[in-house]
Structure 1
Amino acid sequence: MAAASVSMPGSTDTSLGFDDYSLYSNLSDDELMQLAIERSLTDSQSFTSRTETTKTSIPTSRQTPAIACPPQPSPPAAVQQPRQPTPEPCPANPPRNLYNPQIPLIVSHFVTGNGKRMVAYRRYDGTLVEVKPEAEVEEDPIVKTIRDGDVGTLRQIIKKPDCNVLIPNQYGWIPLHEAAYYGQDQCLKVLLRVQPGMINKRTLKDQTALLLAVSKDKTDCVECLLEKGADPDLANQDKETPLYKACEKENSTTVAMLLNYRASVNKSCIQGWTALHEAVCRNNVEICEMLVKAGAKISTANMYGITPIFVAAQTGSVDALRFLLKNGADINSQAADGATALYEACKNGHANVVEFLLSQNADANKSGKTGLLPIHIAAQRGNDGIVSLLIPATSKARVRRTGISPLHLAAERNRDDVLELLIEAGFDVNAILSEDRRKMYEDHRSTALYFAVINNNIDATSMLLEAGANPNLDTFSPLLVALRQGCMTTMTLLIKHGANINAYIPTHPTTFPATVMFCMKYLSMLKYLMDNGCDALSCFNCVYGSNPHPPLKTTRSNREDSEPQSVCVQFCEVISTNTYSRWAGPIIDVLLDYVGHVKLCARLMEHLDSYPDWESIKEKAMPPRPLMQLCRLKIRQLLGIKRLKKIKRLPVPGRLIKFLNHEERTQDYFGSEL
């Protein structure tokens, strides 16, 4: 509905403009129409002015915006415009009662099951405005005659004094183009007999009749036009010649015909592709052979440096590839980006092409400008079949010089099958990314294990750790990543394989292990860290002690402006943030189980005083600590974590084992004794 059809009572300007349309955006079209009618009945003057405004705002059919009548592609006979100097009105005018020039409509054409042509109008939000039959357009008689192949009637029409076969339609097409398009070779002969000089006339897209006939596989018309002197080298706007189009259509008969009439075999299109590129792309060896015999160059490159051999590798055209190599193509030639045919075959997943190229001694150790080898791209794409073919042909020393291992790419893309193949083949699971490649990642990751952990890929993490991956090589420990993700399985795997349980972040110094900070929300993970030797005592070493603490710096900008980078963050500062303050009591409670005599700082005491249920935790921290707690800590210290893990094998009472492992609280085993 046009916005101008709704008025506001009591206003001097009775029309509602487009800018105010949002006031009624929640109403449907029917509701808006009803509102307009009701208000028009109560105000005759508004009705009159609104009627005049509406009439003046509705465009005529000749003023219709271009979007309401989009030009059609190639001109089928049913929609050809009459050959009149003055164009007819657009047959697809938008609905008058619903059209607003400020809100253009999307017009779509379709044909019903009964063959009736329809036109639909929609708004940009997809809502349907109107569907109606498409207006009938009178078809040019000469076009209808050509399409039907009525040579006799065509002769009668062109004999008329007012018939001019050189007048083009809106697309620049003359009757000769129509005859070539519809494959009417007899009509072509009649037209050329009248005007032989128009044989190379072009459409608005620079298409000749010959090019149209080739594009539609009208071989008889192609032969007729060539016999009458059509130029076989005239190209369209994209620089595509008839020979190029014939190769695209894989019409060997037309190709032979054009070559017999001396068509230029090495002319390239606007992107630098030649007819041989097109034939290779379609793996048509017959046409390739015809082109090469006619003088086609094997190694002509397009604007990206891609020669036909690259096209064969990209498209998996083994037969065409074999033909090109047989005729002297360089198997190890490189494109503008340094890629080889083998690299392109790996990139596009053509295992049969990779196998053939390797059998012909293609170099698997030649890298492109990115520094990646074929095995890198195969691992990244997850094609384990191609990777298995490349492993014997790839030098591990050459892989190391690239600064990145295929293990990195396989782990990054979760290609577990490829990862397993590479590990079995002996690729270094502790390979480090080069410095320039590490800089591409904000966290400066360096190992394949880090990629696996950050993807939360437990299978890949397990494979790498079992193969000997070191979990302590990255700047930001993979263990911290697992803790941040809250993945207990990954954390357990890393700790069992020697991950540093007291890992810190070099760029963000703290007085306590960063592992504690990353698992404060997960008490079970925090307890697991403590059971395995995490430093709990450092959490209570506050530099301010019982003295008043400085106010917390809540924003990053404040911290950066007032705090040098060397100042370490205190545990009490972290636990006081909004993220962790609600967990302060339980966190302190867990940590107290793994320390002896400690004194809580003023801020931690403030947290414990803030919640009545935490009073018992506060009492637990008061000295002196129970003798049993001090004995437990001493025994754990003397035994060490590794021996403590094996204590179950020793003839030690089960209750003592549970006590040393801090299991008495969950099992309530020592309740009666304590």
Structure 2
Amino acid sequence: MHKLGLALTMALAAFPAGAGARPQVDADVLARAIAADDVAGAVAALEGGADANAQLAYGESPLSRAIETQDPAMVLALLEHGAKPDAADAEGLSPLALACERGNGTIVGALLDHHASLGRAAPDGTTPLAVCARFAPADTVSRMLAMGAKADSADARGQTPLMWAASSGNVEAMAALLKAGAQIDRVTDGGFTPLFFAIKSGVPEATRMLLDAGADASRRGPENTSALQIALYQKNWGAAAMLARRGADLSEIDRNGNRPLHVAAAAGDTDLISVLLAKGADVDGLTGPSRIKWVTEANFGMPPPPVPPTPPLLVAAQNGQVDAMKLLVKAGANTAFVAGNGTNVVLAAAHGHSADALDYALGLTPDVNVVDGSGATPLHIVLNGGMHPQLESMLRVLASHDARTDIPNKYGATAAQMADKGLTTVRTVYRHVFTGGPAPRLTALQN
């Protein structure tokens, strides 16, 4: 027995039966026992007269505080000593909702055993079922449904338990809700369906379940965004591949001006690239203006800068994704493409922080001294990229292809001058590669 429980037991024993009424134990004693997760002490306090429903600090009930301990024995002790299972806290949250949020199925089960109300919603309309659907085990959700919880109850935002379950990828809970009749294509006030929540979860199986159950993959979300675009924004490549296989529009341009193949190329996800190409994505499709109107407040009131039409190969090169580059070239990508700003595949790869991508690009288009619209060579671009782990390797690739250091850009600066006036670490690496200077010290480069 904990010291607190022992002290209370001894104190209560000092008042023998028939010696008069025993003093009421202060609620603070019970609160301290709960905070210490001292079940014996809490029981002693309750049996000593502490009120199981006393209001504690911040409007908490002892039961709500016990749920925070995540000790089922503590919760059960309070329930067995008269704690009201539906006593809401100062924010209007019931013990059942709190237990669902913490996700402990045993504690939720104890509350249900003591007849906690399934219909006691939070002030915003969120039901315990919805919270449990996101955080608790699926068997808890199944039990609540069997006890009469409404599968399609919506909160103030129009979000249903299925959406809550989908948002965390709780696949088994989703299955239970669908079996109970949850609407698969219900739409929130903000324009989201359960499918969008599943995509956002990052759990591909959640997306697959809804698609297999007949979810409408053609429904548009906010900003007229497609399900495929949502998947790509969320970097849920598995979900994106599923949607592509099921006939999503692969030519559509997103709010950044990208088609799906551009996004996959930038990420270097070769599995998704293969799916997109197999389903007919244009290997040389260009970026372009979006039909989606940006909410410019999210970008400090300014729309994104215009991007010259660019094919996926250059996007892959700019992001240093050499495997993606190889896959696109194998699929027939135009290796001689030059963007409106003068960027070709070599100049694009100079931005990519990957020596392998740069070397591969030079194998496709061997001019190491090509210049873009601002007169910058690949060497200018690499030096302008600052210090990074691939800098020396990239400089060695350029040096091995006889990159010139004396070509001025449109501002009159040569690569050598840029290096001399740039960061000390970059200058040190440049001199080591191009002029035979001393090898840079690793510690200096890390600072």
Band of TM-score, shorter chain: 0.5 to 0.7
In 2 relative to 1, CA 283–391 (structure 1 residues): closer, same or farther, beyond 3 Å?
farther
Equivalent-residue separation in structure 2 for 1:315 and 1:396 (angstroms): 27
Equivalent-residue separation in structure 2 for 1:341 and 1:288 (angstroms): 17
Helix, strand or coil: the match of 1:435? coil
* Alignment-mate amino acid for residue 440 of structure 1: P
Are positions 1:165 and 2:25 aligned together? yes
Contact 1:300–1:307 (8 Å) recurs in 2: yes
Aligned counterpart, 1:356? 209
Aligned counterpart, 2:110? 254
Are positions 1:475 and 2:340 aligned together? yes
Among candidates 121, 132, 151, match of residue 267 of structure 1: 121
Among candidates 315, 322, 330, match of residue 458 of structure 1: 322
Contact 2:125–2:154 (8 Å) recurs in 1: yes
Equivalent-residue separation in structure 2 for 1:283 and 1:162 (angstroms): 42
Q: Which residues of 2 match residues 286-365 of structure 1 at below 5 A? A: 286-301=139-154, 305-335=158-188, 337-365=190-218
Aligned counterpart, 1:537? none
* Alignment-mate amino acid for residue 418 of structure 1: L
Are positions 1:579 and 2:414 aligned together? yes
Aligned counterpart, 1:394? 247
Helix, strand or coil: the match of 2:117? coil
Contact 2:133–2:141 (8 Å) recurs in 1: yes
Given the two structures, how large is their TM-score scaled by the length of structure 2?
A: 0.66
Contact 1:380–1:415 (8 Å) recurs in 2: no
Equivalent-residue separation in structure 1 for 2:15 and 2:58 (angstroms): 27
Aligned counterpart, 1:662? none
Helix, strand or coil: the match of 1:364? coil
In 2 relative to 1, CA 249–527 (structure 1 residues): closer, same or farther, beyond 3 Å?
closer
Cα displacement (A) at 1:313: 1.8
Helix, strand or coil: the match of 2:81? helix
Aligned counterpart, 2:431? none
In 2 relative to 1, CA 186–203 (structure 1 residues): closer, same or farther, beyond 3 Å?
closer
Contact 1:419–1:460 (8 Å) recurs in 2: yes
Helix, strand or coil: the match of 1:299? coil
Cα displacement (A) at 1:225: 3.4
In 2 relative to 1, CA 257–155 (structure 1 residues): closer, same or farther, beyond 3 Å?
farther
In 2 relative to 1, CA 435–572 (structure 1 residues): closer, same or farther, beyond 3 Å?
same
Among candidates 178, 183, 192, match of residue 39 of structure 2: 183
* Alignment-mate amino acid for residue 182 of structure 1: D
Aligned counterpart, 1:518? 377
* Alignment-mate amino acid for residue 432 of structure 1: L
Aligned counterpart, 1:66? none
* Alignment-mate amino acid for residue 78 of structure 2: V
Q: Which one has the largest radius of gyration?
A: 1
Helix, strand or coil: the match of 2:244? helix
Equivalent-residue separation in structure 1 for 2:165 and 2:96 (angstroms): 19
- Greater relative CO, 1 or 2 (CA 8 Å, sep 6+): 2
Helix, strand or coil: the match of 2:220? coil
Contact 1:313–1:345 (8 Å) recurs in 2: yes
Cα displacement (A) at 1:334: 3.6
Equivalent-residue separation in structure 1 for 2:360 and 2:319 (angstroms): 13
Amino-acid identity (%): 21
Are positions 1:418 and 2:277 aligned together? no
Aligned counterpart, 1:589? none
Structure 2 regions of 5+ residues with no counterpart? 295-302, 381-397, 419-447
Calculate the aligned-residue CA RMSD, in Å: 4.4
Contact 1:283–1:319 (8 Å) recurs in 2: no
Among candidates 473, 490, 512, match of residue 361 of structure 2: 490
Equivalent-residue separation in structure 1 for 2:187 and 2:411 (angstroms): 60
Q: Which residues of 2 match residues 120-199 of structure 1 at below 5 A? A: 144-145=3-4, 147-148=5-6, 151=9, 153-156=11-14, 165-166=25-26, 174-178=28-32, 182-184=38-40, 187-192=44-49, 198-199=51-52
Equivalent-residue separation in structure 1 for 2:304 and 2:371 (angstroms): 23
Equivalent-residue separation in structure 1 for 2:31 and 2:379 (angstroms): 78
In 2 relative to 1, CA 388–331 (structure 1 residues): closer, same or farther, beyond 3 Å?
same
Cα displacement (A) at 1:324: 1.0
Equivalent-residue separation in structure 1 for 2:229 and 2:175 (angstroms): 25
Contact 1:449–1:464 (8 Å) recurs in 2: yes
Contact 1:210–1:242 (8 Å) recurs in 2: yes
1:97-120 deviation per Cα after TM superposition (whole angstroms, max 9, x unaligned): xxxxxxxxxxxxxxxxxxxxxxxx
Aligned counterpart, 1:211? 64
Aligned counterpart, 1:447? 311
Equivalent-residue separation in structure 1 for 2:21 and 2:114 (angstroms): 37
Cα displacement (A) at 1:364: 2.1
How many residue pairs get matched? Answer: 370
Helix, strand or coil: the match of 1:433? coil
Equivalent-residue separation in structure 1 for 2:10 and 2:193 (angstroms): 59
Structure 1 regions of 5+ residues with no counterpart? 1-76, 78-143, 167-172, 509-513, 529-570, 584-674
Helix, strand or coil: the match of 1:177? helix
Equivalent-residue separation in structure 1 for 2:56 and 2:168 (angstroms): 33
Cα displacement (A) at 1:345: 2.8
